[in-house]
A and B are shown apart, each in its own frame.
Chain A
Amino acid sequence: MTVRENVANGFRIVLDGHRRSSLLSRIGFYVATALTLLFSLYPFYVMFITSISTNESLYSRDRGVIPKSFTLEHYEVIFGSGSFPVQTYFWNSLSVALVTSVIALVVSILGAYSFTRLDYPGGTLIRRGIIVVYMLAAITLVIPLFQLLVRFDLVDTKTSLYITYTVKTLPLTLYILWNYFRSIPVEIEEAAFIDGYSRLETIARVIVPVSLPVLVAAFLFSFKIAWNEYLFASVFLQSEALYTLPIGIETLDSAFQNVWGEIMAASIITTLPIIVMFLYLEKYMVEGLTAGAVEG
């Protein structure tokens, strides 16, 4: 059976309604699923296997898909030696992503609450404008932003990333939060008003506790955007001590020849937190990713 027939078979069974299925079409379905997963996951397999393969097996002509011997030396090199300061990159990425997500979350809680609960002229317009703004790509902003950062003497500072990353994630967190706030019954708040809470107290003591899981999701989505960001960091940062993981890994690649083991080990380190995060985010994935796949 050719690949094409298998895949076609997979679809036929799907279209066949959801129940009746012969053995043959079941096999077709599993083959199609296996191919889909192979296509999706093979690069991750390569990443992982390369990171634990010895250099001899990586750079030999007769290597197979599964190497003959394994080692953790690449991980030791990136964490233990001065020429691969992956630890520094890691902490930089972490601090930038954390600061960014906290600011974005606080700002968007206030903004999203304002959109959903308070009625004022121009509110809808602002809300729509923010979504349109979110469709803009970073490449159209990077040149003027660089010029402005030069003028404010912010080039090569973490502050430049805090500011730009916060704004990069803001439309998404606003969107996620106002979608959720809309579903909170107004009665809950009215009860709080009767107890003598002001609006701000209500936000802090009623809205925030009620929406905690969604706040965590919004936080993680903005963390992910900051953690993955490459373009701004590549332009705004100059000294290696400030590099985040994406820029750091790229520097390793251009500074050394044949360090694939180390690069893949660093890639695994970069990828793991995001994978762990998405185990938690599964429930919110549709909303968050489809609204926010902007870094595409």
Chain B
Amino acid sequence: MRERIERIDPRRREVLLGYLLVLPSLLLIGGVILYPLIYNVYLGFTEVPLNPDQSPVWIGLENYETLVNSDRFWEATYNTVVFTVASALLATALGLAVALLFDRAFRGRRLARGLVLLPHVTPIIAVAFAWQFMLDPLWGNLPDFLAWLGIYESDVGLLQSRDHALQMAILFDVWRNFPFAFLLFIARLQAIPQSMYEAATIDGAGRFAQFKDIILPELKGTILIAILLRFVWEFNAFEPVWLLTRNLETLPIYAYKSAFSTYNQGLGAAIAVMLFLFQLVMVAVYMRFVGEDEL
């Protein structure tokens, strides 16, 4: 056996070994991601019986017709779009602001940077409950604080009323994800050579001119990447909303509830297909504007 392998010429052996080593990765990703994606498209055209021994029944476009004709779907779409756009833009803006703030030498800089990342890396379940408690109308601190500021005074909890639940979900998501943008920007800012600022100062450029003429052009690409990536992820975000409040329905939550609360898995699959199509479009946009190498 060994001899036979050695008789294959080295170039082909290299190719074979290459495929062999990457095979476990491909099998896992193929079996657990690609195949389910395709299967999901099929499920979207079916009604899935509760009994697992029965196979799904083909019903064509019925799930999609149900969705397009329901107010619930359009409301969830509206919520998803507002949530996505607002939290992606705000998280990116705040991340940029904090990156600019921390892009200087000061004592405790490393510690400050590390601490700012905490909201992003800690388990979402833990921080979601901390926010729930902070916002609790009876026991939380934030409602009292807001009442003291005169911004919000009501016995209805901020997470219990529909309008405010959306705002709070955005706030929570910005809190959790601005460090991601911060991290992208701070790495980029540090790559700008000090000499560029010095040259600009000699030329008499003020602070704003420096920002506009040096920092902004250097960061343009990164800003685009940050916003596009957040668009993809925010649009499909499930936990940041679901774990914070049950009074806001976005498309991912609609899909989850359809599939696992009311056991209408076909309908849930149809929503998931739409989410997937959106992701595909966004990935294509990303490739078009950012280029594959930046992936």
Contact = CB atoms under 8 A, between A and B. Distances in A.
Interface of A: 7, 10-18, 29, 32-33, 36-37, 39-44, 46-47, 50, 58-59, 63, 65, 107-108, 110-111, 113-115, 118-121, 123, 126, 128, 130-133, 135-148, 150-151, 163-164, 166-167, 170-171, 174, 199, 224, 227-228, 230-231, 235, 245-246, 249-250, 253, 260, 263-264, 267-268, 270-271, 274-275, 278-279, 282, 285-286, 289-290, 293-296
Interface size class of B (residues with CB under 8 A): 35 or more
B148 interface: no
A148 B125 CA distance: 27
Contacts of B252: 137, 139
A293 B103 contact: no
Contacts of B29: 130, 133, 167, 170-171
Given A289-B180, A290-B184, A135 B279 contact: yes
A164 B38 CA distance: 17
Interface of B: 14-15, 17-22, 24-26, 28-29, 31-37, 39-40, 43, 48, 52, 97-98, 100-106, 110, 112, 114-127, 129-131, 133-134, 136, 138-139, 141, 175-177, 179-180, 183-184, 187, 194, 197, 201, 207-208, 210-211, 229-230, 232-234, 236-240, 243, 252, 255-256, 259-260, 265, 268-269, 272-273, 275-276, 279, 282-283, 286, 292, 295
A289 B117 contact: yes
Contact of B130 (A136, A142, A264): A264
A141 B116 contact: no
B126 A270 contact: yes
Given A228-B124, A285-B183, A249 B24 contact: no
Nearest to B22: A114
Contacts of B269: 143-144
Contacts of A12: 207
B174 to A, nearest CB: 10
21 contacts: A14-B104, A15-B210, A46-B141, A110-B24, A114-B19, A131-B295, A135-B232, A135-B286, A137-B237, A137-B279, A139-B272, A140-B273, A141-B33, A142-B272, A143-B268, A147-B265, A224-B121, A246-B125, A260-B136, A260-B139, A289-B183
Given A40-B115, A148-B36, A249-B126, A10 B101 contact: yes
Contacts of B194: 18
A266 B224 CA distance: 38
A120 B124 contact: no
A143 B101 contact: no
Given A137-B275, A230-B243, A33 B112 contact: yes
A15 B211 contact: yes
A211 to B, nearest CB: 16
A43 to B, nearest CB: 4
A126 B129 contact: no
A43 B17 contact: no
A32 B292 CA distance: 37
A225 B20 CA distance: 27
The binding surface of chain A is classed by DSSP as helix
B40 A40 contact: no
A139 B122 contact: no
A48 B179 CA distance: 21
Contacts, number: 300
Given A39-B175, A286-B183, A296-B234, A167 B130 contact: no
B295 A246 contact: no
Which 10 A-B pairs give the minimum distances between C-beta atoms? Answer: A137-B236, A118-B18, A15-B207, A267-B126, A111-B25, A114-B21, A144-B36, A167-B32, A246-B125, A120-B18
A121 B12 CA distance: 11
B125 A167 contact: no
Contact of A151 (B26, B52, B133): B52
Contacts of A143: 40, 43, 255, 259, 265, 268-269, 272
Contacts of A166: 28
Contact of B28 (A11, A167, A260, A282): A167
Contacts of A170: 25, 28-29
B283 A135 contact: yes
Nearest to B32: A167
